[in-house]
Amino acid sequence: MDGWRGKRVTVMGLGRFGGGVGVTRWLARQGARVLVTDQAPAEALRSSLAAIGGLDVALRLGEHDERDFRDTDAVVVNPAIPDRSPFVQAALAAGVPITTEINLFVERCPARCVGVTGSVGKSTVTAMIGAALEALPGGRTWVGGNLGDSLLPSLESIRASDVVVLELSSFQLHRTPLVRWSPHIAVITNVTPNHLDWHGTFAAYVADKLNIVRFQEPGRDWAVVHDSPDLRRRFDELFGDNAGLYRYRLDGETPVAAAQTTSAVEHDDVRLRWEGLALAVPGRHNRENAAAALAVAHLLGVEREAALAALARFEGLPHRLKRVGERGGVTYVDDSKSTTPEAALTAIDAIGGPLLLILGGYDKGSDLTALARRAAQRARLSACIGKTGPALADAIAAAGGAAQRCETLGDAVAACRVAARPGDTVLLSPGCASWDMFEDYRARGTQFARLALEGRGTP
């Protein structure tokens, strides 16, 4: 739909953190007759409502009404809402077109797009690519998607010479086939079981992740994929010998990338190697993340030394292995963005020295067995919170480790403080989502930092 003026559009899901704000503002600017509907009450949406204050839009809060989905010209669905929603089904049954904020953006974006997905690491890789493209010749770099604010309101300022870097969740990619879109450069960090409560099966989750490459054009587009056995097998099955594919990895501590090609000739465009990379962010996994960012920067024409210098200045993202302070010789590290077991395992490996862990949260259906075993091996104490806390504590104890069930994050911080010694690290890396106890991972990490710095237990 190109002409929005006068069209009736239902925006499903304003969100507590503004997920529907950007698309609502953009549609109102296009002259659409917008109805925003959200099951949360107005008091829970205060900041989002303030962001659309003054716009000529209708509101239905605290409930959805099927009539809003049947008697309209289009529905814009929040990515987190599954197809099985009765209101989505009502729109489909009535023949009402369904779209998303990200689909509206990519359909109209004049710039080249880099899309980044993965079960672990996609936010950091997206931010690293944005940093590495600081020296991009001839255009501006925009970063958005699942990371940061909507870029829809910025469409008028984006030029064909620019590059847009989008973090793309499995929820967002689930519906990109509606517009048959994949980015010019697609990055996949890994694919491990996640959000199975939403997707239903791991196969469905993988299929949605692979939408990021499904509509790429051979000879024009590129995929930059972590060189893991599982992803190698999946891509070999899907695409065979694809010369538009770069696999990235570490050779020792050195980031490397190699193009899959039938050519026997080795040159800079086939074998890439970045010696001397210095990073401010810890962990081997971040050197692998840098390999992906450097491969993208190379494909877009950024000089090697400029990209290396930009990544050396990269300080990481909030709530991702961020040192929040030290108290009594004990270091506190916030990795609240760790919402999968694999992310928690990566964080544990990135921390050297004696360790105390805070684990647990909302149950997404992930297998926590490997995380429990590693916690038993590495941590003097694991303080376990949330819905998965009891099962995690039992599994850690069964594996020979020390674990304690805690009712609140404050209780967990207090338990770790009692057990900690000078030189230890207390790491919040839950391996689970936060929705059972907090609005999101940011709120969880912010509370952890406050508790750590204030030196107190239960909030």
Q: How far is residue 144 from each of residues 102, 130, 148, 291, measured CA to CA in Å? A: 10, 10, 5, 20
What phi, psi does 149 have (nearest 5°)? -85, 165
Q: Which two tokens stand for residue 227?
A: 């060189």
What is the C-alpha separation between 226 and 121, in angstroms, rounded?
Answer: 11
The H or E element containing residue 21 is helix 21-29
CB 187 within 8 A of CB 116: yes
Say whether 209 is catalytic. Answer: no
Exposure letters 30-58 (e unless 16+ CB within 10 A, then b): bebbbbbbbeeeeeebeebbebbeeeebe
Q: Active-site residue among 64, 78, 103, 146?
A: 146
What is the C-alpha separation between 163 and 166, in angstroms, rounded?
Answer: 10
Q: Active-site residue among 195, 298, 322, 364?
A: 195
Closest CA to 27 of 62, 61, 60, 52: 52
Say whether 195 is catalytic. Answer: yes
Burial class (CB in 10 A: 0-12, 13-18, 19+), 394: middle
Q: Active-site residue among 64, 78, 122, 319?
A: 122
Say whether 226 is catalytic. Answer: no
CB 199 within 8 A of CB 170: yes
Q: Which two tokens stand for residue 231?
A: 């992803």
User: Catalytic residues, which ones?
Assistant: 122, 146, 195
